[in-house]
Amino acid sequence: MLSIKEVKAILRKYNIRPSKYLGQNFLIDQNVQGKIINALDIKRQDTVLEIGPGLGALTDEVCKWAGKVIAIEKDRRLCNFLLQNTSYANLDLFSEDILKYNFGKRRGLKVIGNLPYYITSPILTYLLDNRPSIESIFITVQKEFAQRLVAWPGTKDYSSISCFTQFYAEPEILFNIRRKCFYPVPGVESCFLRINIREKGLFLTNEDKLFKIIRTCFGKRRKTVLNSLSSNSAFGSKEAVEGRLKDIGIDPKRRPETLSIEEFVRINDGLPNPSA
């Protein structure tokens, strides 16, 4: 684990300046680093995929406990530093964009990472799209984003990413992380999340169509669910949509943020397929 003095010394020695473009904020609080390692509960049989190991603040400890560690670091400067300063036989290090990583036939991965705030949503979506390869995800994200993932219907944070995540996984905020625990200090507070992947989706339904409906509704969240859906001609005329909603017991005047995932599934099953 790395302290603030060690991080600054390494950056000076290797002439590395944290990249704002890549959203680099290095974790420097050793107490928080310890809490993260404890939360991971790594076993010798585990294969861990670390996104953005940076200077290796967690990598060394993870390598001590896991059977296999795959580290994906987009920044070649940091990747070269790690190649020169780590020598664990169970570590495979790649200079690659996680959004281009091929999960292949891997199974049971435990994913960890301090995700760049500007690209958190695409990374999480990519991980969930590759969920057959993943058992659980442990990530540090912006507090506001974390609250959206765990939000319930009827709250201001409830959104399409809430529905998408909760359909395929069980997200839980484990603890908050203060801004001063990072260098450079970010402008927002952070949270550490555990996301356990479900064996199958929450409901048996046409998933592509379901999330098209959810995105359509939340794209116009100030409108009623009727007006949101009828703005997309693929779901039929306004009169037809209103009739279907009433048939399945959904008040057409409700706002999208009040609908549970189960109710979205009922809407999904009650509306015709867009291609029909």
pLDDT at 182 (0 to 100): 95
Cβ–Cβ under 8 Å, residues 51 and 28: no
CB atoms within 10 A of CB 2: 22
For residues 229 and 235, the answer to whether their CB atoms sit within 8 Å is yes
Query: pLDDT digit of tens for each residue in the chain (276 aa)?
Result: 788 899 999 999 999 999 888 889 999 999 999 999 999 999 999 999 999 999 999 999 999 999 999 999 999 999 999 999 988 999 999 999 999 999 999 999 999 999 998 899 999 999 999 999 999 999 999 999 999 999 999 999 999 999 999 999 999 999 999 999 999 999 999 999 999 999 999 999 999 999 999 999 999 888 999 999 999 888 889 999 999 999 999 999 999 999 999 999 999 999 877 654
* Cα–Cα distance, 136 to 192 (Å, whole number): 13
Distances (CA, A) of 258 to 7, 220, 227: 46, 13, 15
pLDDT at 275: 52
> Residue ranges of the alpha helices (H) in 219-259?
225-230, 238-247
Burial of 148 (0-12, 13-18, 19+ CB in 10 A): buried
Distance, CA of 149 to CA of 161 (rounded, Å): 6
Residue 100 is predicted with a pLDDT of 97
**Structure confidence at residue 21 (pLDDT):** 84
Instruction: Please give the radius of gyration of the chain, using alpha carbons only, rounded to the nearest integer.
Output: 21
Residue 31: other Cβ atoms inside 10 A:
9
Counting beta carbons within 10 angstroms of the beta carbon of residue 265, is it exposed (0 to 12), middle (13 to 18) or buried (19 or more)? buried
pTM: 0.94
Residue 276: per-residue pLDDT? 44
Domain definitions of the chain by residue range: 4-197, 207-270
Q: Residue 61 to residues 37, 114, 118: CA-CA distances in angstroms?
A: 7, 15, 27
Rounded to 10°, the helix 143-150/160-168 angle is 60
Per-residue model confidence (pLDDT) at position 274: 64
Fold annotation for 4-197: Rossmann fold (3.40.50)
Written out in words, the top-level CATH class of the domain with range 207-270 is mainly alpha
Q: Which two tokens stand for residue 140?
A: 């540090």
The burial class, CB within 10 Å (0-12 / 13-18 / 19+), for 22 is: middle
